[in-house]
Structure 1
Amino acid sequence: MKTVEVLSKKKEVRLHLFLWVILAYINYVHLDFKAPYFIRFTDFSLFNNTSVIVFISTFYFHYLCVMPRVMRNFNGKTAFLGWIASYLIFTGIRAFLEQFLTVWIWDKQNYYEGTPAWFYMIDNFFYSLFSIGIATITYIVIYLIRSLQLNQIIQQDKNETELRFLKSQINPHFVFNTLNNIYYLVYQKSEQALPAIDKMSQLMRYMTYETSENSIELQKEINYIKDFIDLEKMRIAGDVYLKLDIQISNPNLLIPPLLLLPFIENGFKHGVLTDAAHPLTIKISQIDNTLELYTQNKCNNYNKDETSGVGLSNIQKRLALQFANKHSLIIKEEENIFTCKLTIKL
Structure 2
Amino acid sequence: MRPFIERPILILAVPWIVYPTVDIISTVYLKLESNGIPFALVTTVIGFLTSCIYFFWLIPSFFYSKRTLFIAGISMASIAVLALTKYVMFWATGIVDYAFGDFVVYELMRQLVFFPVTMTVWAVYMLIRALQEKHKTEIRLDKLSIDYRNARLSPHFMLNLIGDISTKSLRYSPELFEDLNHFITILRYAYLDTDKFNSLASEVEALQSYLHGQKVRFEESFCFQEDIDASLLEKDELYMPKLLLITLIENVFKHGIFQDADYPVIISAGIAHDDSALQVFCFSTTNKVGKTPPLEKSGFGIDTVRNIIDYFFPNAELNTASNGAVFSLNLTIPYATPNQTWPDR
Q: Specify whether residues 322 and 331 from structure 1 end up closer, same or farther in structure 2 by C-alpha distance, changes over 3 A only.
A: farther
Percent identical among aligned pairs is: 12
Q: Specify whether residues 162 and 120 from structure 1 end up closer, same or farther in structure 2 by C-alpha distance, changes over 3 A only.
A: same
Q: Specify whether residues 157 and 179 from structure 1 end up closer, same or farther in structure 2 by C-alpha distance, changes over 3 A only.
A: same
1:246 maps to: 227
Identify the match of residue 188 of structure 2 among 185, 189, 205.
205
Identify the match of residue 316 of structure 1 among 302, 322, 328.
302
Q: How many residues align?
A: 305
Q: Specify whether residues 13 and 143 from structure 1 end up closer, same or farther in structure 2 by C-alpha distance, changes over 3 A only.
A: same
Instruction: Give the superposition deviation at 1:200.
Output: 1.8
Q: Matches of 2:224 and 2:52 in 1, distance apart? A: 69
Q: Specify whether residues 228 and 71 from structure 1 end up closer, same or farther in structure 2 by C-alpha distance, changes over 3 A only.
A: same
- Secondary structure of the equivalent of 1:282? strand
What is the root-mean-square deviation in Å for CA atoms of aligned residues? 5.1
Identify the match of residue 140 of structure 1 among 119, 140, 143.
119
TM-score, normalising length from structure 1?
0.63
1:158 maps to: 137
- Secondary structure of the equivalent of 1:327? strand
1:229 maps to: 211
Pairing 1:300-311 to 2, within 5 Å after superposition: none
C-alpha contact 1:293 1:341 (8 A) present in aligned 2: yes
Aligned letter for 1:175? P
Identify the match of residue 258 of structure 1 among 243, 249, 272.
243
- Shifted more, 202-211 versus 145-154: the winner is 202-211
Pairing 1:73-222 to 2, within 5 Å after superposition: 73-74=61-62, 85=77, 88-89=80-81, 92-94=84-86, 96-99=88-91, 101=92, 110=97, 120-121=100-101, 123-129=102-108, 131-133=110-112, 135-171=114-150, 172-186=152-166, 190=170, 191=173, 195-209=178-192, 212=195, 216-217=199-200, 220-222=202-204
Is 1:19 equivalent to 2:1 in the alignment?
Answer: no
Deviation digits for residues 208-267 of structure 1, max 9, x if unmatched? 4486568743x5544322222223333556x46543231669956865443343454466
Q: Matches of 1:221 and 1:321 in 2, distance apart? A: 18
Deviation digits for residues 295-318 of structure 1, max 9, x if unmatched? 34899x9xxxxxx7577x522342
C-alpha contact 1:90 1:128 (8 A) present in aligned 2: no
C-alpha contact 2:257 2:289 (8 A) present in aligned 1: yes
Q: Matches of 1:266 and 1:14 in 2, distance apart? A: 44
Unmatched runs of 5 consecutive residues or more in structure 2: 275-279, 311-316, 334-345
- Secondary structure of the equivalent of 2:320? strand
Higher alpha-carbon Rg:
1
Q: Specify whether residues 71 and 227 from structure 1 end up closer, same or farther in structure 2 by C-alpha distance, changes over 3 A only.
A: same
C-alpha contact 2:224 2:265 (8 A) present in aligned 1: yes
Q: Matches of 2:254 and 2:147 in 1, distance apart? A: 20
Q: Specify whether residues 329 and 221 from structure 1 end up closer, same or farther in structure 2 by C-alpha distance, changes over 3 A only.
A: farther
Instruction: Give the superposition deviation at 1:4.
Output: 6.1
C-alpha contact 1:63 1:136 (8 A) present in aligned 2: yes
1:49 maps to: 38
- Secondary structure of the equivalent of 1:179? helix
- Secondary structure of the equivalent of 2:328? strand
Instruction: Give the superposition deviation at 1:279.
Output: 7.5
- Shifted more, 193-202 versus 155-164: the winner is 193-202
